[in-house]
Structure 1
Amino acid sequence: MRLFSALVMLLAAGLAAAAGPDRRIAITVDDLPWASLGDGAGRPLDAAMRAHHARLMAAIRAGGDPVIGFVNEGKLGADPASRAERTAMLRDWLDAGTELGNHTRGHVDLHAVGLPAYQANILAGEQVLRPLLAERGQHPQWFRHPYLRAGTSAADKAALAAFLAEHGYRIAPVTVDHSDWIWARAYRNVLDDGADEATLARLRTGYVPYMMAKVDYYERFSLALLGYALPQTWLLHANELNAATWTALMAGLDERGYRRVSLAEAMADPAYARDDAYTGRWGPSWLHRWAMAEKKPRAFYDGEPETPRWVLDLAGVESE
């Protein structure tokens, strides 16, 4: 009987190996209601901005995937009419079935402003968010660090974690990171310069393979570091380029066998209980943080796709 059980287990393991990794990914979107809306008094949304937002919402609704968006309340503006219009954009996200989390009020850098100001900005970032969610019997549960900068000392990281827990938040890490902001800036620059359709099309057709190459890279990284395909957490932004390519991005995941899951499901994987001991100045992927904690050699990180020079030039950015 024991021999039979062992054979069954071996057969199951063989079938699982033949089927390939269990590919799961949580879709997270930063800088709501829209990345290019700056802080300040605010201005009425123009027709183009409304169209981009509507296109993104339609794609998310059509996909029916779990998605969470992270809000910068400073982008709601101070003018009452503009504020109401932009708050309605957040309601659109909720109507599309997404969750909403806190991304600070002003997209502030913890390493620049210090812990007390950062904590105050987190609380300022839930003045609309918390009652908005309460309308639907929900409350904010997730916090995403702007720039993925999470603290330059173990003491600050521990104090921030305690503060977030006290206010009912869990940290939302990122494992699949990239430079979509550079591609989006290039796309927005072309739109602002008169929307040359050939260049916009070139950006769209180049962007999706770039993003899929990043997903592939972090899958390989996970297999090398952890020995299995981690349920990934993928960072996107609310911007014009992602609105135009959302369906193609999801199709790319489908081609790779990725099942979209909630952030909570992804975070249930035991790897996310690993300590984030990184205290450097930048904001790398959590997979990179864990690898650095294990003192992996420089070559371990090789092979990460880079943004092409022509995209950097269109974005007006010197380097990633």
Structure 2
Amino acid sequence: MRPFASLLASLLILALPALAAAAAKDPGKDKTAPDRRIAMTIDDLPWVRLPAVSTASIIADHRRLVAAIRQAGVPAIGFVNEGKLEADGKVEPERLAMLRDWLDAGATLGNHSYSHADLHAVGLPAYRDDILRGERQLRPLLQSRGQTPHWFRHPYLRAGRSAQDKIDLAQFLSAHGYRIAPVTVDNSDWIWAAAYLRADASPKAEKLKSKLRRDYIHYMGLKLDYYEQQSIALLGYNLPHIWLIHANALNAASYGDLIAMARKRGYRFIGLDEAMRDRAYERTDAYTGPAGPSWLHRWAIGEKKPASFFADEPEVPAWVMSLAQLESE
């Protein structure tokens, strides 16, 4: 037996290079899977419904969302509307403390303008003023942590009605130390959030809200799948994505499930800085229309892709639209 075992071992050693070469030629499932990385971004801090509602009415959900962010332990950045910090023209200490909660949870903060201004409605001069007004609390708050604000997110994702407006805005932002934070995984979480709030009036509120959370996670998964395929179709690979959600009660209740769903699909969470190092983000945003689409679709519009390229994007189900009392996305 010993001579045979020795011969077998020798043959295996000789065969190893050939086996390795064969494995290299057959990459298999793991090696052919797209690179799946994603950055989490959360808009309308400190809370979507402020300042129209009292701080007391939303503070429990705020704490729930911040706790979920801390527990998830993945990079996240929240974009602040400083107007939401105020009541009767004065900053409420409790609302400013909400931003500190985000920083304490390990998140970073960016500028989303003071009033959530619509660039297309107010024009570039007023928009620039609103951006600077949106850092009066943000800048010193970050400086107290050894940080500076360097990301800006357009409200409504409306980025300019002309190429020149886009150039002028980019130059202004750069002069003030900002970069634009695009979005690739766009969605209508705000409609689901509206339905979630209205569900409280139902006689079977908890059952309805449970169904909303479950179906919302499924919808968001379909969105991830869709934009992954859009990226591959347009760029030839799956770029590091940038995901947009909002600071609302639905995401406070669903944040951990969103993270788990993305991870189940093979996604690894990264910071916005890492995502933006991908060369795809150097592409020109050619879109000058009234909506606020994904940057993948802006680039596709710039390449004059046919209408068929944009087909089959997942939609909010009709029953959710009805519950939210909205007619269209």
TM-score with structure 2 length normalisation?
0.90
5+ long unaligned stretches in structure 2: 1-16
Judge conservation of contact 1:56–1:244 (CA < 8 Å) in 2: yes
Residue 176 of structure 2 corresponds to residue 167 of structure 1:
yes
CA shift for structure 1 position 190: 2.1
Show the counterpart of 1:157. Answer: 166
Equivalent in the alignment of 1:124 = 133
**Which secondary structure state, in structure 1, belongs to the residue aligned with residue 92 of structure 2?**
helix
Q: What does the per-residue CA deviation read over 1:41-79, in whole Å, with 9 as the maximum and x for residues that have no partner?
A: xx6422x52211111111110111000000000001135
Identity across matched positions, percent: 59
Counterpart CA distance in 1 for 2:60 and 2:130 is 30
Cα distance in structure 2, aligned partners of 1:170 and 1:291: 22
Q: Structure 2: how far apart are the matches of 1:10 and 1:297?
A: 39
Change (3 A) 1:127 1:12: farther
- Residue pairs, 1:203-282, within 5 angstroms: 203-282=212-291
Per the alignment, residue 35 of structure 1 pairs with 48
Change in 2 beyond 3 A, CA 1:158/1:32: same
Paired residue secondary structure (2:130) = helix
Q: Helix, strand or coil: the match of 2:243?
A: strand
Query: Per the alignment, do residues 192 and 102 of structure 1 end up closer, same or farther by CA in structure 2, a change over 3 Å counting?
Result: farther
Of the structure 1 ranges 19-28 and 114-123, higher mean CA displacement relative to structure 2 is found in 19-28
Matched, 1:20 2:38: no
| Whole-angstrom CA distance in 1 between matches of 2:25 and 2:284 | 32
What amino acid is the match of 1:248? D
Q: Following TM superposition, by how much is the alpha carbon of 1:281 offset from its aligned partner in structure 2, in angstroms?
A: 1.4
SS of residue in 1 equivalent to 2:43? strand
Query: d(CA) in 2 for partners of 1:16 and 1:271?
Result: 25
Change (3 A) 1:9 1:60: farther
State how far apart, in whole Å, the 1-side matches of 2:74 and 2:276 are.
17
Which structure has the larger Rg?
2
Given that 1:45 and 1:82 are in contact with CA atoms closer than 8 Å, whether structure 2 keeps it comes out as no
CA distance in 1, matches of 2:265, 2:160: 34
Residue 262 of structure 1 aligns with an amino acid whose one-letter code is G
1:144 Cα offset (Å): 0.1
Match of 2:317 in 1: 308
Deviation at 1:12, TM superposition (A): 8.0
1:195-252 deviation digits (Å, cap 9, x = unpaired): 8111111111110000110011000100111111110000010000000000110110
Quote the residue 1:182 is aligned against.
191
Question: Which residue of 48, 52, 69 maps to 1:60?
Answer: 69
Write the distance in 2 (CA, Å) between the matches of 1:165 and 1:13. 46
Deviation at 1:279, TM superposition (A): 1.1
Q: In structure 1, what is the equivalent of residue 55 of structure 2? A: 45
Q: Distance in 2 between matches of 1:105 and 1:159?
A: 19
TM-score, normalised by the number of residues in structure 1: 0.92
Distance 1:306 1:81, change over 3 A: same
Q: 2:147 aligns with which of 138, 150, 159?
A: 138
2-side partners of 1:159 and 1:106: how far apart? 20
Given that residues 44 and 82 in structure 1 are in contact (C-alpha distance below 8 angstroms), is that contact kept between their aligned partners in structure 2? no
- Of 103, 107, 110 in structure 2, the residue corresponding to residue 101 of structure 1 is 110
Query: Which range moves more in the overlay, 80-89 or 203-212?
Result: 80-89
From the superposition, tell whether residues 38 and 305 of structure 1 become closer, same or farther in structure 2 (CA, over 3 Å). Answer: same
CA shift in 2, pair 1:116/1:11, >3 Å: same
Separation in 1 of the partners of 2:89 and 2:146?
25
Write out per-residue CA displacement over residues 268-314 of structure 1, whole angstroms, 9 at most, x where no aligned residue: 00000001111111111000001111111111111110001111111
Give me the CA root mean square deviation: 2.1
**Alpha-carbon distance in structure 1 between the residues aligned to 2:309 and 2:130:** 37
- Which residue is 2:308 aligned to? 299
Report the secondary structure of 1:101's partner residue.
strand
Compute the displacement of 1:193 (Å): 6.3
